[in-house]
């Protein structure tokens, strides 16, 4: 897989390598030609330990802005969005046109799309999301529904006509602001993160809660109660809108759900692999094979692909 001695990887993970060794390792991580992750061959255990140690170390460091090593996770600096009323994610362009009447918009997995509503509000939808909205807002409020998935809203300010997002029996009410709503299908939690302005959150039989910029509210959809309101890294929460997959000690189960929506594939589990293993990484338009290879090198998990279906199993 590489001519680099395992001791170099170990020193890299411990932060004790020379500048030349760092260059070699990071060049390998970025340009490794062997991307065939679907193999039963065992990787060097020292290499696995080294990379996994690096991942854990980065996950526990407290850094302003929280940045992982660029080369380790293949992050590409440029963030490319086209702004012209409706701006589309470059990996999978989709032409968005507003319907003539209220409709439910289903975003295919593997795609991302942005809409501009009649009032000028911008809504960016992640792959696999289901969103309902009208063409016009003739009443005293502007109401839309995020049935499932994830959406980022840039609401056009209008104090005379509040904007309301309904999702799983809850509602987020705003006048003009920017916020993210995550209501992934199959997840017991709904999360609202405010990046700008002010919003109120209300659910069944609960007191209205006010969020300020930089706060995240987590709601339990099963118990119908707010679990917590906490400070949030908004750049992390909204990174998906720039086409970045960013994980911070995220269980593999959560990671593969994101990968399904992002790449339009389906994962199935074979046997009893440990899907609670935490993963930290930041990826910008990377091939799926490279991400899976990193997971394989960092855990006891293996992947096998047949067309758009990927089987995940425990390494023997």
Would you list the domain boundaries of the chain? 6-77+244-314, 103-237
The two three-digit tokens of residue 143, written as one number: 């109401």
pLDDT of residue 77 exceeding 60? no
pLDDT at position 206 is 76
pTM for this one? 0.64
Specify which residues 66 forms β-bridges with: none
pLDDT of residue 309 exceeding 90? yes
pLDDT digits (tens, 9 = 90+) for 111-164: 999 999 999 999 999 999 999 999 889 889 999 999 999 999 999 999 999 999
CATH code reported for the domain at 103-237: 2.60.120.1440
What count of other Cβ atoms lies within 10 Å of the Cβ of residue 283? 24
Q: Does domain 6-77+244-314 have CATH number 3.55.50.30?
A: yes
pLDDT at position 85 is 35
pLDDT of residue 173 exceeding 90? yes
Q: What is the chain's mean pLDDT, rounded?
A: 77
Whether the domain at 6-77+244-314 and the domain at 103-237 fall into the same CATH topology: no
pLDDT of residue 227 exceeding 60? yes
pLDDT digits (tens, 9 = 90+) for 276-308: 888 888 888 888 988 898 888 888 899 998 988
């Amino acid at each position: 897989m590489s001519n680099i001695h395992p001791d170099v990887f170990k020193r890299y993970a411990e932060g004790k390598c020379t500048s030349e060794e760092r260059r070699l390792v990071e060049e390998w991580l970025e340009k490794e030609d062997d991307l065939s992750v679907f193999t039963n061959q065992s990787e060097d255990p020292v290499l696995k330990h080294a990379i996994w140690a690096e991942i854990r170390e980065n996950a526990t460091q407290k850094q302003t802005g929280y940045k992982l090593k660029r080369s380790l996770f293949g992050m590409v600096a440029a963030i490319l969005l086209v702004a012209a009323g409706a701006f589309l994610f470059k990996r999978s362009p989709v032409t968005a046109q507003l319907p003539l009447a209220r409709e439910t918009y289903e975003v295919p997995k593997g795609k991302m799309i942005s809409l501009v509503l009649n009032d000028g509000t911008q809504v960016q939808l992640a792959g696999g999301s289901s969103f309902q909205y009208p063409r016009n807002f003739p009443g005293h409020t502007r109401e839309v529904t995020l049935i499932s998935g994830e959406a980022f809203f840039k609401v056009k300010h209008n104090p005379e006509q509040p904007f309301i997002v309904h999702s799983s029996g809850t509602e987020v009410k705003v006048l003009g602001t920017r916020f993210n709503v995550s209501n992934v299908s199959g997840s017991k939690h709904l999360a609202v993160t405010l990046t700008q302005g002010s919003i109120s959150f209300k659910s069944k039989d609960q007191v209205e809660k006010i969020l300020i910029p930089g706060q995240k509210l987590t709601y339990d959809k099963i118990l119908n109660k707010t679990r917590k309101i906490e400070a949030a890294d908004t750049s992390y929460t909204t990174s998906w809108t720039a086409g970045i997959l960013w994980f911070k000690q995220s269980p593999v189960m959560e990671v593969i759900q994101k990968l399904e929506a992002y790449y339009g594939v389906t994962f199935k589990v074979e046997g009893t692999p440990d899907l609670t293993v935490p993963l930290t990484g930041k990826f910008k338009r990377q091939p799926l094979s490279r991400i899976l290879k990193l997971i394989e090198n960092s855990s006891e998990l293996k992947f096998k692909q047949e067309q758009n279906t990927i089987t995940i199993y425990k390494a023997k």
